[in-house]
Chain A
């Protein structure tokens, strides 16, 4: 994701590159057919990894289709000996009214909690990369080191602030978020927790944009606002897209932050999933089906954003 801008990245308006990229594409096609013949070992290795990584998930999928009594009695692979599958688990899970509500909650929580940290982090990463000031490295390393702060340690102070606000002897400084929408707290909490990693990742990418590109824009009279918007953002689309995917996933699958900041009506799908097991875990057999339903959205997001990994990069080099 980072380090990907080649040192000889063409400056804006350099006509030659377009041709170069096209040639490179042609080269890819011829090489591709060659590769497939010569690297049989690589094909086998990648197949092995793919299978090893998929088997657990596949097992869960099969389990989600098995009747309750069978799940504890025999291994999931035995369905291939005795075919006995049912959609009943899915029907039971989908009939759960909390599920559809929490599904919507997850979407409402996740989208702003993905966009906000990305933008805030991109601004900060830009300053760390392209504005000089003393103590810059120290401050950056401090931000980077904040990744290690365990979220559990931050919950009490943050919830206290959100709930009680901030008061001094002289009066209120911040009134808190009581009665300020049910999602506000969880949006802000996720934004904060994502920042150290986001700043670190985006900085790595933004700082590798060749200095000449930025300098050229500056000579043309662009200020930091324009450089950020017109040059840095388009060039970092791959980094932003991949971080967006990961942040989306982390928020979507988060239970810890949701437990504290998204209670009651705002409960996301992970909380509903955790309660699917029922009292004393009596209905734990519903979990595999629930897990698959919850997985649909992240997979769609991955498919939708995947192409930006490559396209963003090429677009950046040709358009400038």
Chain B
């Protein structure tokens, strides 16, 4: 049985907890896997390091990616995800505090599917997460699993 889950890449425990709460409030049913830095996120996705032996066919339905991360930053993680056949089609939503133009441009040019700024106002944040869930987990049709698109 395939496991439906979201990968949340977030180093700030407060943001992690709040994001979890917002997802719960928005009635997201999926499991949530948390990676606390860029390296861990890649280890998880590619079954390396502490995740050695993990079934990498099990890919998240959605990746929520913070940009400012220890070790590897979000943009590098994004680039690695996009350059690997196993993960190149995964929807990645950049979820960050930054509204700097350069971050937005860099994210999209490295293949982010969406860019959402985490607002300070928690009510707005919940609203954003609701929209996110509706679009990516309900409306969006993901690419078929296990099939490669020829380019």
Interaction A to B: no
Interface residues of B (CB under 8 A from A): none
Interface residues of A (CB under 8 A from B): none
